[in-house]
Amino acid sequence: MAVKSNRLFFVDAMRAWAILMMLQGHFIDGLLDPVFRDSSNTAYSLWLYFRGITAPVFFTVSGFIFTYLLIRVPESGIENPRVKKGIRRGLQLLAIGYLLRLNLGGLLKGQIYNAFYLVDVLHCIGLSILGLIGVYVLTAKKKKFVFPAALVVITLVLFLFERVYKDWSFAFMPDFLANYFTKSNGSVFTIIPWFGYTTIGAFISVLFTRFKNYRYLYPAAISIALATGYLLIYQSSAAFATLYDWTGFEFLKLILSNNYLFIRLGNVFVVFAVFMILRQLMTNKTVLKIGASTLSIYVIHFIILYGSFTGMGLYRFFNHSLSPEIVIPGALAFMVACTFLALQYNKYEAYLKSQVGLGISFAKSQFIELRELTFPMLKEMLIWARLLLRRVLRTVRVRS
């Protein structure tokens, strides 16, 4: 079956699912009383497992969407207009990530708290986009297989050696840079190994683009995704154990202590397969709007839950104190509220930006008028002060 549309609706639906999972995950994890965190409880362990899938799916889909748009255009390399847009987008996400960690109370005291320098999802996705652009530009003049091959190699290196570099302190770096590589200072995410999910998402998008007109694209993609997911989830640990027995490489033994990266990648492939199977049901306008509004949803949820700027979020008042009877319906209400506010913002985004633009233009025009009015006066005052200074100096010379 040929692809009838350039837009892959199932990917937008996956992104919508991931952001909603993130909302309820952050809400429940931040507010649920530790007394109820019982891993032996089936419901809690199931929730915990699916919560662990959310971030890998989100990073993978982000890499997929960005690369899919990047390589669709006929231009290549630095001439590709998507390169400049991607650089702006990456820098924007980094800026928003830091902005959300600002505390106005601290700024008024002339202080920037250490939490400002911690790295979170937006920082990593922004830097990942810049990283993908770097790989794309460096391989643009090479043969076609080099770009996807480089993406796979990056993922494998980051995942295979994660247990090796995980305990590095990166003490030779300033803390604000080290926070991108180590969680020892309190960062929630780090660019390594999470960039690996972005690069594998980019690799998958290259495959979709190359075979977009293939008659059996979806049957083949679903079968490959399910098979890859099964092998990574259930067979990867055994494979690493066998490789370690053959080679004796210590990093393979370290992977066996916690093979979460490859297992979670297997989960991602299964999620891809499920959404591809249900792709005919993924064209609901609201779902697609949610998928296109993830940044707005993330910003709003961060402000409400963690109290960006003011420190007056739900986390401050209900931190690890709620029972399941309260936190579960609360999480549902939180998801609805954040999504509704984000969709409303996006609905009036153009108007709001135009009003902000008008306000800036008005302030600029007022500044120019004020400057034009005050400049002659300041000039006269400067001439008068100069003459007065000369008279004073002349008087001093005469007296001396």
Q: Are 283 and 9 in contact (CB under 8 A)?
A: yes
- Residue 225: what pLDDT? 97
User: What was the pLDDT predicted at 400?
Assistant: 55
Q: Specify whether the CB–CB gap between 118 and 186 falls below 8 A.
A: yes
Q: Output the pLDDT for position 359.
A: 63
Q: What average pLDDT does this structure show over 338-367?
A: 74
CA–CA dist 136, 148 (Å, integer):
9
Beta carbons of 132 and 96 less than 8 angstroms apart:
no
> Does 367 score more than 90 pLDDT?
no
Taking the C-alpha atoms of residue 55 and residue 197, their distance in angstroms, rounded to an integer, is 9
Token pair listed for 240: 């690493």
Please tell me the distance from the alpha carbon of residue 64 to that of residue 71, in angstroms, as a whole number.
11
CB under 8 Å to 95, separation ≥6 — which residues? none
Whether the pLDDT of residue 2 is over 80: the answer is no
pLDDT surpassing 80 at residue 387: no
Instruction: Count other Cβ atoms within 10 Å, centred on residue 252.
Output: 19
Check pLDDT > 50 for residue 342: yes
pTM score of the predicted model: 0.86
Q: Indicate if the pLDDT at residue 22 is higher than 80.
A: yes
**Rounded-to-integer distance, Cα 13 and Cα 334, Å:** 20
Integer CA distances (angstroms), 359 to 89, 163, 187, 368, 372, in order: 24, 52, 37, 14, 20
pLDDT at 1: 35
SS3 37: coil
* Residue, of 385 and 200, whose pLDDT is higher: 200
Q: What pLDDT does residue 361 have? A: 64
Q: Does the structure show a pLDDT above 60 at 3? A: no
Give dist(CA 89, CA 91) in Å, integer. Answer: 5
CA distances to 24, 59, 173, 309, 364 from 66, rounded to whole Å, are: 25, 11, 30, 30, 36
Mean pLDDT score of the chain, rounded to an integer?
A: 89
Q: What pLDDT score does 399 carry?
A: 57
Tell me what pLDDT residue 171 has: 85
Domain boundaries, the chain: 9-347
Q: Which of 33, 55, 57, 58 is nearest to 44 (CA)?
A: 33
- Residue 48's pLDDT is 93
Tell me the percentage of the chain whose pLDDT exceeds 90.
Answer: 65
- pLDDT of 240-295, one tens digit each? 999 999 999 999 999 998 899 999 999 999 999 999 999 888 888 888 899 989 99
Q: Of 242, 238, 204, 243, whose CA–CA distance to 224 is shortest?
A: 204
Higher pLDDT, 281 or 21: 21
The predicted structure's pLDDT at residue 324: 94
What are the Cα distances from residue 87, in Å, to 127, 142, 176, 182?
9, 22, 21, 24
pLDDT at 313 > cutoff 50:
yes
206-234 average pLDDT score: 94
Let me know: does 315 contact 305? Beta carbons within 8 Å: yes
pLDDT band at 169 (very low <50, low <70, confident <90, very high): confident
pLDDT in tens, 91-146: 999 999 999 998 887 777 778 888 889 999 999 999 999 999 999 999 998 998 99
DSSP letter string, 101-132:
T-BHHHHHTT---GGGG---HHHHHHHHHHHH
Whose tokens are 């200074």? That residue is 389
Instruction: Supply the pLDDT for residue 4.
Output: 45
Of 314 and 354, more confident:
314
